[in-house]
Structure 1
Amino acid sequence: MSENGGLVGSIVETVKTIVYALLIAGIFRTVFFQPFWIPSGSMKDTLLIGDFLFVNKMAYGYSYASCPSIKIERFGIDVDAEDLCGWMQSGDGRFLGGTPERGDVIVFRHPVTGADYIKRLIGLPGDTVQVKEGLLYLNGKQVQVAADDTFSETYEPQGPEGNLPRCANGPVGPGGDCEKLRFLETLPSSVEGEPDVTHGILKITDRGYANNTPAFTVPEGKYFFMGDNRDNSTDSRFQQTAGGVGFVDYKDLIGRADRIMFSSGGRSMLYFWTWRSDRYFKAVE
């Protein structure tokens, strides 16, 4: 074999290896787990900006939303999950579908924009959900809540987007302690015989629309989500016509967040001194 022939053969084998690796990675991402970075503070302190996790796509079966969206603006590539797997939206839109449980932390596609969101499942089909004076009511009954400690963080730009946190302790200067009140909320289990779900929530105020909503009755085939950082979350309390999430279709669920794999508190993952090793492999509760 000539030298040129050997070089061409080597290039071909390299290209084949790359193609196979991409195919395997694509199948793994589509069928089993999807990586997800936490970009905002709407789920503090359950999830912090810079937490990295894998979303379990097997938890609720598969829908068009299980397919990846491929967006590379630099090369003008914008392929949506609907473009690849829109054919799966017939019927209830799921294959091997599983039932989400109240209290699950779930990644889903925004019903209008198609962007990935992560929130906690509060209301199941048929449930009535309302917030009054900052307290959550489920099917007419106040959900159990107990005061916990104070959540404190530095008032500084957070994550790649450089968002500043909101504080309950009034105006805070750069580098100051930004505090929020933390409570433990207990959601009644949606599975008979299973324990109730207790999780942390953060509060800044009891005023405003987010703390005094109408009563929402969740339609069949849809779900109601809220962020744990209750006063800093755009979720199902805000209807789609107002730029919110509204009710989320069963077919738009991507998967359940089970465990944090890695966490970085800096503007870039390369800032190794901001890595939060105490959050590695932490269960999402």
Structure 2
Amino acid sequence: MTHTTEAAPSADVPSIPHVPPSRGLVHEVVESVKVIAMGLLFATAVHTIAFQPFTIPSSSMEPGLVIGDYLVVSKFAYGWSRASLPFNPPLPGGRLFGRTAERGDVVVFRRPSDPKQTWVKRVIGLPGDRVQVSGGVVSVNGTVIPRTPLDVVPDHDMPTRRVLAVRETLADGRTWVTYDGGSGRPGDDTDVFVVPEGQYFMMGDNRDNSLDSRWPADVGVGLLPAGNIVGRAELVVASWTPGASLYMPWTWLNLQPGRVFRPVR
């Protein structure tokens, strides 16, 4: 009968230290938590200081912005105020590194009568300006903003409604397209609004479907305090058709054509 014996381990071979499995698992979990926490911190910093996404819930800024647009807003365009911080904390008024908005800018802001609501409109009147609407035509300091009729088109968000697309152009060349639903509509004729220091006169591009500075704050916007501005609208990243939802994955690709990475003008 043949007998076999195991060879004794060589004294020259180093032994491998035993690491309990639980210790390695804990290390992996801790490292993963660190990575996630750093990512969340970075995202929160970007969200608070630089850029913030918004979705467009109404038709008041058609045709430039439509329902379903996913919008990126620059917070450093005008400096920072309490309104540009998450949850609108009860901090002192004013803006840090504040800069004046320009006529024609599309601005996201907290509604003065209800700061929980975030609205978007276009800056028409700057501090010190005199603004009036007569027959649907806007004038600033006695000078009419030139209008060029383009075509009668279906309203983007309500195709059964026909509107006149009109191009407005400022003296510096900035231009955008508005919708005109016809003459004699509410808001087509106003008194002269004198814009105080530190405030702005705002209007929606869908002129007959926008509650803005032509109406008092409890109805529309009233004159907008600079401290209520969140930031300047910069880019439409994408736009989803009405009915699409984060909670319905089969709708994620229901994009509106031609509205991906579209600059806000």
Instruction: State TM-score, norm by structure 1.
Output: 0.78
Secondary structure of 1:14's partner? helix
Query: Contact 1:187–1:197 (CA<8 Å) still a contact in 2?
Result: yes
C-alpha spacing 1:266/1:273, structure 2 compared with 1 (3 Å): farther
Alpha-carbon distance between aligned partners in 2 of 1:130 and 1:179, rounded to the nearest angstrom: 26
Q: Provide the residue aligned with 1:136 in structure 2.
A: 138
Query: Contact 2:131–2:140 (CA<8 Å) still a contact in 1?
Result: yes
Alpha-carbon distance between aligned partners in 2 of 1:236 and 1:136, rounded to the nearest angstrom: 13
Query: Contact 2:83–2:228 (CA<8 Å) still a contact in 1?
Result: yes
C-alpha spacing 1:2/1:112, structure 2 compared with 1 (3 Å): farther
Q: Provide the residue aligned with 2:38 in structure 1.
A: 20
Alpha-carbon distance between aligned partners in 1 of 2:155 and 2:59, rounded to the nearest angstrom: 12
What aligned pairs does 1:58-69 form with structure 2 within 5 A after superposition?
58-68=76-86
| Number of residues of Structure 1 aligned to a counterpart in Structure 2 | 242
| Structural RMSD (CA) | 1.9
Q: Aligned-pair distance for 1:6?
A: 3.8
**Which deviations, in whole Å up to 9, do the C-alpha atoms of 1:188-242 show, x marking residues without a partner?**
4xxxxxx23221010113224311112110000100100000011111111113x
* Higher helix fraction (1 or 2): 1
Alpha-carbon distance between aligned partners in 2 of 1:105 and 1:67, rounded to the nearest angstrom: 19
What aligned pairs does 1:270-285 form with structure 2 within 5 A after superposition?
270=249, 271-272=251-252, 274-285=254-265
Q: Provide the residue aligned with 2:71 in structure 1.
A: 53
What aligned pairs does 1:133-282 form with structure 2 within 5 A after superposition?
133-153=135-155, 165=158, 177-188=160-171, 195-241=172-218, 243-269=219-245, 270=249, 271-272=251-252, 274-282=254-262
**Which deviations, in whole Å up to 9, do the C-alpha atoms of 1:65-116 show, x marking residues without a partner?**
2212xxxxxxxxxxx2224xx14x2xxx111222211001111111121121
Q: Which amino acid aligns with 1:280?
A: V
Secondary structure of 1:280's partner? coil
Alpha-carbon distance between aligned partners in 2 of 1:9 and 1:151, rounded to the nearest angstrom: 62
Q: Provide the residue aligned with 2:5 in structure 1.
A: none
Secondary structure of 1:206's partner? coil
Q: Provide the residue aligned with 2:88 in structure 1.
A: 81
C-alpha spacing 1:266/1:244, structure 2 compared with 1 (3 Å): closer
Q: Aligned-pair distance for 1:50?
A: 0.9
Query: Contact 1:266–1:275 (CA<8 Å) still a contact in 2?
Result: no
Alpha-carbon distance between aligned partners in 1 of 2:74 and 2:46, rounded to the nearest angstrom: 11
C-alpha spacing 1:279/1:4, structure 2 compared with 1 (3 Å): same
Instruction: State TM-score, norm by structure 2.
Output: 0.84
Alpha-carbon distance between aligned partners in 1 of 2:129 and 2:57, rounded to the nearest angstrom: 29
Query: Contact 1:262–1:277 (CA<8 Å) still a contact in 2?
Result: no
Q: Aligned-pair distance for 1:272?
A: 4.7
Q: Provide the residue aligned with 1:127 in structure 2.
A: 129
Which moved further from structure 2: 29-38 or 138-147?
Answer: 138-147
Q: Which amino acid aligns with 2:181?
A: I
Q: Aligned-pair distance for 1:29?
A: 0.7
Specify every segment of 5 or more residues in structure 2 that has no aligned partner in the other structure, as ranges: 1-18
Specify every segment of 5 or more residues in structure 1 that has no aligned partner in the other structure, as ranges: 69-79, 159-164, 166-175, 189-194
What aligned pairs does 1:1-12 form with structure 2 within 5 A after superposition?
1-12=19-30
C-alpha spacing 1:149/1:239, structure 2 compared with 1 (3 Å): same
Q: Aligned-pair distance for 1:13?
A: 3.2
